[in-house]
Structure formats: structure tokens, C-alpha cells
């Protein structure tokens, strides 16, 4: 019991939350350019949605296997779901892996990357609203709303091109992207809820494994094909599987011991890291260069600070 309390206090420390969440966001941000490079290596065109889903299925299946293996080594016993946790694994998988990514890939095929990144950033708002208003896991405050708005402004700024942002919307484009953020938000809330009685590493591993297999079958059934496996392309796929395994598992552990708003707000860093790393790895320097990215990063950091600051002082929520 004392060991559990010590671990809980450690995972609630400001430095642990900030460093842990930033590591997750840095890993997720690196997925943006890595996916593009992976498509090139595997000869997957930007409009081949079925092949993209199949490729994602390979990635998440491998991520599930890695998470289960590493979690089992760390626990010194083989992690497996109990009879009572199988349903939880399938619910998480249907939202986090299958629902979120199927909707995202289909939506991305019918809208621009800029719009997708900006709409995806809404998952922070949605996660906090769902946790506060539907599941009553924490209180919704003006401070949290203000911090989210500031952070979202940074995401919008870093993704805004010279042509601005048009407001044309479609159900299968922007609509599906928004639904993917809703699926992610509900998965975050359920992961925190289920982690009270279940090992979050076990939940992460098996939801990835189940979701990855389902996505691979869906992509293959829809006519998707993946070719071009080499040592380099498999190495990249393995790295992307590690991104999912490490980041989502660590994120789940942070959610287990902290309010959703305190962790979820760091999600605004994902597209910022994505833009910066894309500039480095893909040569997309136009979007990341200049004062715009600096201001965007400052806004996101201010938003994160606003959401977390009062809690650290008053110990509320």
C-alpha cells in the first residue's frame, strides 16, 4: 500500500508530468514525418487510403506485441487480460486504434493536412469536456477553458499558411477528422477509468494488438497492398511501433494518476513538434521557419502553464 502511495505521489510531481507528457508528444510529433517517409518506402500514394490503413494495421499490431513483451518483462510475469478486462480492451481498441485512425485516414483523404492538424487539436477540448461534463472525473473551470483556447491558438498559428484557412467543410473530410478526435477523447477518459482496476500497460498492449489486426484486415479487404519491405523500411516501421507502444503506455500511466486536463493539454504540442520535425526530416522549412513557429510554441506553453498552474498552488481539482 505504501509503495502504491509513493508511486502515485511520484507520478503527480510537476516535473514528472511535464517531462513524461513532453516525451509522449515528441514521439507522436515524430510520427508525422515518419509516416510520410514510410509511405514513400512502401510505395503508398497519398490517395491510397486502404493501403494506408493496412500499413497502420501492421504498425499497431507490432506496437501491441512490443508493449505486451516489454510490460511482461517489467512485471516479471506475462501480461494478459482477465475475463473481466477483455470487454474493456475491445472498447478501448474500438475507440483509440480502430475508430480514431480509420476516421482520421478517411477524413485526411478528403481534406487538407493543415485543416486536419487544426481540427485534431480539438481533442484536448473534447477530452476535458467529456471528462468533466459526462464522466464527472474533474471540474470544468474558466482557467482550463482559457488555457485550452491559448494552446489551440498556437496550433492554429503554426499550421496556418499564407493562403489562410477556408471554412469549407464536408462530412467525410472535416467531419470524420472531428469524429476521430471525439473517439480519442472518449478513449482517454475510459483509459483513466479502467486503469483504476487494470494495468494500463496491459490495456495499451492488447488494445493495440486487437486494433492493429482489425485495421490490417479492413485495409486488406478494401484492396490495400503494401510492398517494398527492406531492412530500412522495416526499421522505420519498428520505430513507429515503438512510438505507439512507449508514448501511449506512458500517457496512460500519467492519466491514471492525474486529472485528464492536466495531461491532455500537452496534446497541443503534438502538431508543433510535428511541424518542427517535418522541417528537419522532410525539408518543409517554409512552414516551420520564422517568428510564427516561435510565437506558436510560446502560446502552447502558456496554455499548458495556465491549465496546470493554479492546481499546483491550491491543490484543487
CB 205 within 8 A of CB 78: no
- State the pLDDT confidence band at 112, using cuts at 50, 70 and 90: low
For 57, 135, 232, 257, 289, the CA distances from 88, given in Å and listed in that order, are 20, 16, 36, 19, 44
User: So where are the chain's domains?
Assistant: 2-314
pTM score of the predicted model: 0.80
CB 55 within 8 A of CB 38: yes
Convert the pLDDT of each residue in 126-157 to its tens digit: 888 888 888 888 888 888 888 888 888 887 77
| CA dist., res. 87 & res. 83, Å (int) | 8
State yes or no: pLDDT of 313 exceeds 60.
no
| CA dist., res. 222 & res. 168, Å (int) | 28
State yes or no: pLDDT of 115 exceeds 70.
no
Mean pLDDT of the chain: 84
Q: Residue holding cell 501511449?
A: 248
Three cell numbers, residue 135: 464522466
Q: pLDDT over 70 for what percent of the chain?
A: 86
| CA dist., res. 190 & res. 87, Å (int) | 12
* Eight-class DSSP state of 265: G
Q: Residue holding cell 515518419?
A: 34
- The predicted pLDDT at position 221 comes to 96
| Least reliable range by pLDDT among 19-23, 48-52, 166-170, 186-190 | 166-170
Provide the H-helix boundaries in the chain. 2-11, 14-41, 49-75, 86-92, 100-108, 113-120, 123-129, 142-159, 176-194, 200-221, 231-257, 260-264, 269-282, 285-288, 291-314
| Least reliable range by pLDDT among 26-40, 238-252, 264-278 | 264-278
| CA dist., res. 142 & res. 77, Å (int) | 45
Q: How many CB atoms lie within 10 A of CB 17?
A: 19
Amino acid at each position: 500500500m505504501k509503495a502504491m502511495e509513493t508511486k502515485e505521489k511520484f507520478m503527480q510531481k510537476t516535473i514528472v508530468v511535464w517531462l513524461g507528457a513532453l516525451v509522449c508528444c515528441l514521439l507522436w510529433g515524430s510520427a508525422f514525418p515518419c509516416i510520410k517517409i514510410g509511405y514513400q518506402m512502401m510505395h503508398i500514394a497519398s490517395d491510397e487510403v486502404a493501403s494506408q490503413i493496412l500499413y497502420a494495421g501492421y504498425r499497431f499490431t507490432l506496437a501491441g506485441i512490443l508493449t505486451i513483451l516489454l510490460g511482461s518483462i517489467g512485471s516479471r510475469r506475462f501480461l494478459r487480460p482477465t475475463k473481466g478486462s477483455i470487454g474493456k480492451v475491445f472498447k478501448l481498441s474500438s475507440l483509440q486504434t480502430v475508430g480514431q485512425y480509420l476516421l482520421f485516414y478517411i477524413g485526411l483523404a478528403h481534406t487538407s493536412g493543415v485543416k486536419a492538424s487544426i481540427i485534431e487539436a480539438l481533442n484536448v477540448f473534447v477530452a476535458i469536456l467529456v471528462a468533466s461534463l459526462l464522466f464527472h472525473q474533474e471540474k470544468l473551470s474558466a482557467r482550463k477553458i482559457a488555457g485550452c483556447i491559448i494552446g489551440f491558438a498556437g496550433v492554429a498559428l503554426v499550421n496556418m499558411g499564407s493562403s489562410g484557412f477556408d471554412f469549407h467543410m464536408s462530412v467525410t473530410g472535416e467531419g470524420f477528422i472531428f469524429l476521430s478526435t471525439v473517439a480519442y477523447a472518449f478513449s482517454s477518459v475510459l483509459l483513466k477509468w479502467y486503469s483504476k482496476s487494470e494495468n494500463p500497460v496491459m490495456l495499451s498492449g492488447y488494445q493495440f494488438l486487437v486494433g492493429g489486426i482489425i485495421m490490417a484486415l479492413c485495409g486488406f479487404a478494401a484492396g490495400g497492398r503494401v510492398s517494398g519491405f527492406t531492412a530500412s523500411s522495416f526499421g522505420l516501421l519498428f520505430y513507429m511501433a515503438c512510438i505507439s507502444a512507449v508514448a501511449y503506455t506512458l500517457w496512460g500511466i500519467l492519466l491514471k494518476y492525474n486529472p485528464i486536463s492536466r495531461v491532455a493539454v500537452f496534446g497541443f504540442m503534438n502538431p508543433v513538434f510535428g511541424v518542427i520535425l517535418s522541417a528537419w526530416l522532410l525539408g518543409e522549412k517554409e512552414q516551420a521557419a520564422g517568428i510564427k513557429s516561435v510565437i506558436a510554441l510560446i502560446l502552447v506553453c502558456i496554455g499548458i502553464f495556465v491549465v496546470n498552474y493554479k492546481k499546483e498552488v491550491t491543490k484543487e481539482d
